[in-house]
Amino acid sequence: MARIKLAYIGGGSTRGAGTMASLIHNNGPEFDGSEVVLVDLDAERLALIRTLAEKMARARGVDLTVTATTDRRAALQDCDAVLSSFRPGGFSARERSQLFVENARRIYRIGEFYGNADETLAQDGFAPNRKPRSQSVAMRVAA
Protein backbone atom coordinates (compact mmCIF):
# COMPACT_ATOMS: atom_id res chain seq x y z
CA MET A 1 0.00 0.00 0.00
CA ALA A 2 1.19 3.52 -0.69
CA ARG A 3 2.27 5.74 2.15
CA ILE A 4 -0.66 7.81 3.32
CA LYS A 5 -1.63 10.37 5.90
CA LEU A 6 -4.69 9.21 7.83
CA ALA A 7 -6.50 11.58 10.19
CA TYR A 8 -8.32 9.80 13.02
CA ILE A 9 -10.93 12.20 14.39
CA GLY A 10 -11.87 11.04 17.87
CA GLY A 11 -8.47 9.37 18.20
CA GLY A 12 -8.34 10.18 21.91
CA SER A 13 -11.65 8.46 22.60
CA THR A 14 -12.14 5.25 24.54
CA ARG A 15 -12.22 3.47 21.17
CA GLY A 16 -8.89 4.98 20.11
CA ALA A 17 -6.53 2.37 21.57
CA GLY A 18 -8.56 -0.56 20.22
CA THR A 19 -8.86 0.98 16.76
CA MET A 20 -5.12 1.62 16.59
CA ALA A 21 -4.39 -1.90 17.85
CA SER A 22 -6.62 -3.34 15.12
CA LEU A 23 -5.04 -1.19 12.43
CA ILE A 24 -1.51 -2.10 13.52
CA HIS A 25 -2.15 -5.79 14.21
CA ASN A 26 -4.33 -6.58 11.18
CA ASN A 27 -2.92 -4.26 8.53
CA GLY A 28 0.30 -2.86 9.97
CA PRO A 29 2.72 -3.74 7.16
CA GLU A 30 0.35 -2.19 4.61
CA PHE A 31 0.75 1.12 6.44
CA ASP A 32 4.57 1.09 6.56
CA GLY A 33 5.84 4.62 6.06
CA SER A 34 2.42 6.16 6.71
CA GLU A 35 1.31 8.70 9.28
CA VAL A 36 -1.73 8.54 11.53
CA VAL A 37 -2.77 11.86 13.03
CA LEU A 38 -4.88 11.41 16.15
CA VAL A 39 -7.34 14.28 16.59
CA ASP A 40 -9.39 14.94 19.70
CA LEU A 41 -10.47 17.72 22.06
CA ASP A 42 -8.66 16.19 25.03
CA ALA A 43 -4.87 16.58 24.74
CA GLU A 44 -4.20 14.33 27.74
CA ARG A 45 -6.09 11.40 26.27
CA LEU A 46 -4.48 12.03 22.89
CA ALA A 47 -1.05 11.72 24.46
CA LEU A 48 -2.01 8.41 26.07
CA ILE A 49 -3.40 6.89 22.84
CA ARG A 50 -0.40 8.17 20.89
CA THR A 51 2.01 6.53 23.33
CA LEU A 52 0.11 3.24 23.19
CA ALA A 53 -0.05 3.30 19.37
CA GLU A 54 3.66 4.02 19.07
CA LYS A 55 4.48 1.12 21.40
CA MET A 56 2.20 -1.25 19.48
CA ALA A 57 3.72 -0.25 16.14
CA ARG A 58 7.24 -0.68 17.50
CA ALA A 59 6.38 -4.10 18.96
CA ARG A 60 4.99 -5.27 15.59
CA GLY A 61 7.87 -3.77 13.62
CA VAL A 62 5.59 -1.40 11.72
CA ASP A 63 7.09 1.85 10.43
CA LEU A 64 4.19 4.09 11.40
CA THR A 65 4.42 7.71 12.47
CA VAL A 66 1.77 8.61 15.03
CA THR A 67 1.13 12.27 15.81
CA ALA A 68 -1.57 13.90 17.91
CA THR A 69 -3.25 17.27 17.82
CA THR A 70 -6.31 19.12 19.05
CA ASP A 71 -6.23 21.24 15.85
CA ARG A 72 -8.59 19.49 13.46
CA ARG A 73 -7.85 21.79 10.52
CA ALA A 74 -4.11 21.19 10.81
CA ALA A 75 -4.68 17.42 11.01
CA LEU A 76 -6.73 17.43 7.81
CA GLN A 77 -4.11 19.39 5.85
CA ASP A 78 -2.77 17.15 3.02
CA CYS A 79 -4.69 14.22 4.45
CA ASP A 80 -5.40 11.20 2.22
CA ALA A 81 -8.09 9.57 4.33
CA VAL A 82 -10.21 10.32 7.40
CA LEU A 83 -11.48 7.94 10.05
CA SER A 84 -13.99 9.31 12.53
CA SER A 85 -15.07 7.74 15.78
CA PHE A 86 -16.45 10.13 18.33
CA ARG A 87 -19.48 10.68 20.53
CA PRO A 88 -20.62 14.29 20.79
CA GLY A 89 -21.13 15.07 24.45
CA GLY A 90 -18.86 12.30 25.76
CA PHE A 91 -19.95 9.84 28.43
CA SER A 92 -22.65 12.11 29.85
CA ALA A 93 -24.37 12.06 26.44
CA ARG A 94 -24.09 8.28 26.40
CA GLU A 95 -25.78 8.07 29.81
CA ARG A 96 -28.60 10.32 28.58
CA SER A 97 -28.99 8.19 25.44
CA GLN A 98 -29.23 5.01 27.48
CA LEU A 99 -31.75 6.59 29.84
CA PHE A 100 -33.84 7.67 26.85
CA VAL A 101 -33.84 4.11 25.47
CA GLU A 102 -34.81 2.64 28.83
CA ASN A 103 -37.66 5.13 29.18
CA ALA A 104 -38.84 4.46 25.63
CA ARG A 105 -38.89 0.70 26.33
CA ARG A 106 -40.97 1.28 29.45
CA ILE A 107 -43.34 3.82 27.89
CA TYR A 108 -43.90 2.03 24.60
CA ARG A 109 -43.65 -1.46 26.12
CA ILE A 110 -41.07 -2.55 23.57
CA GLY A 111 -40.62 -6.31 23.71
CA GLU A 112 -43.99 -7.00 25.35
CA PHE A 113 -46.59 -8.97 23.43
CA TYR A 114 -50.30 -9.43 24.08
CA GLY A 115 -52.88 -11.94 22.92
CA ASN A 116 -55.11 -9.60 20.94
CA ALA A 117 -55.88 -5.97 20.15
CA ASP A 118 -58.25 -5.55 23.11
CA GLU A 119 -55.60 -6.77 25.53
CA THR A 120 -53.03 -4.46 23.95
CA LEU A 121 -55.36 -1.47 24.23
CA ALA A 122 -56.14 -2.31 27.87
CA GLN A 123 -52.41 -2.58 28.75
CA ASP A 124 -51.82 0.82 27.15
CA GLY A 125 -54.58 2.40 29.22
CA PHE A 126 -57.29 2.50 26.58
CA ALA A 127 -60.67 0.91 27.02
CA PRO A 128 -61.38 -1.55 24.22
CA ASN A 129 -63.85 0.18 21.92
CA ARG A 130 -65.30 -2.87 20.28
CA LYS A 131 -68.63 -4.34 21.12
CA PRO A 132 -69.14 -8.06 20.62
CA ARG A 133 -71.30 -7.44 17.57
CA SER A 134 -68.48 -5.53 15.82
CA GLN A 135 -65.95 -8.32 16.21
CA SER A 136 -65.44 -10.54 13.25
CA VAL A 137 -67.65 -13.55 12.68
CA ALA A 138 -64.62 -15.82 12.99
CA MET A 139 -63.95 -14.54 16.52
CA ARG A 140 -67.55 -15.27 17.56
CA VAL A 141 -67.47 -18.75 16.00
CA ALA A 142 -64.19 -19.56 17.75
CA ALA A 143 -65.57 -18.50 21.14
Tell me what the mean pLDDT of segment 44-48 comes to.
96
- What is the structure's pLDDT at 95? 79
- What is the structure's pLDDT at 137? 54
Percent of the chain with pLDDT over 90: 52
AA identity, residue 63: D
- What is the structure's pLDDT at 94? 74
Distance of alpha carbon 36 from alpha carbon 66, whole angstroms: 5
**Could you report the per-residue pLDDT of 50-99, keeping only the tens digit for each?**
999 999 999 999 999 999 999 999 999 999 999 998 777 766 777 777 78
Distance of alpha carbon 17 from alpha carbon 25, whole angstroms: 12
Comparing 80 with 111, which gets the higher pLDDT? 80
Q: Which domains does the chain have, with CATH numbers?
A: 5-88 (3.40.50.720), 96-142 (no CATH)
3-state helix, strand, coil in the chain (%, to 5): 50, 15, 35
Comparing 56 with 140, which gets the higher pLDDT? 56
Distance of alpha carbon 1 from alpha carbon 31, whole angstroms: 7
Residues paired with 65 in a beta bridge = 35
Provide the pLDDT confidence category of residue 127 given band limits of 50, 70 and 90.
low
